[in-house]
Amino acid sequence: MLECPALGTLKRLRIGHNNSGLSAGWFLDKVIVDDLETNRVYEFPCHRWLAKDEDDGQISRELLCVGVGTEGAFERRRCSVNASLTLGDIPGKLQNQAAKPF
């Protein structure tokens, strides 16, 4: 979970990593942002690698919002915004790596 000030209506986001560590790359299926203040859920599909040695070699991507829902996708907690990463299960890569802010 990320705690942050009100973001308003989301249209796009940038996500990436610093490429450090063993098998640093990851396959990103999508990002879901659940705004607990407005009860809106934003979906940002990716379906691409964030890896120097896969796909196009990019470790940062700008994603566009494809839909906004009104049902909360996560358990309600103290934070105003919840962010979730769905990482694909790709053989030969570390699974379920923790995402860290960059």
Residue 2 in any domain: the answer is: no
Residue 99 in any domain: the answer is: no
Residue 62 in any domain: the answer is: yes
- Give the model's confidence band at 73: pLDDT under 50 very low, under 70 low, under 90 confident, else very high: very low
* Confidence (pLDDT) at 6: 79
DSSP 51-84: -TTSTT--SEEEEE--EEESS--S---S-SEEEE
Q: Are 31 and 67 in contact (CB under 8 A)?
A: no
d(CA 13, CA 11): 7
Range of the domain at 17: 12-87
Q: Are 57 and 30 in contact (CB under 8 A)?
A: no
Q: What is the pLDDT of residues 8-61, one digit of tens each?
A: 899 999 999 999 888 899 999 999 988 888 888 999 999 999 999 999 999 999
* Confidence (pLDDT) at 34: 87
Is pLDDT above 60 for 101? no
Closest CA to 58 of 69, 68, 46: 46
Residue 82 in any domain: the answer is: yes
CATH of the domain at 82: 2.60.60.20
Residue 20 in any domain: the answer is: yes
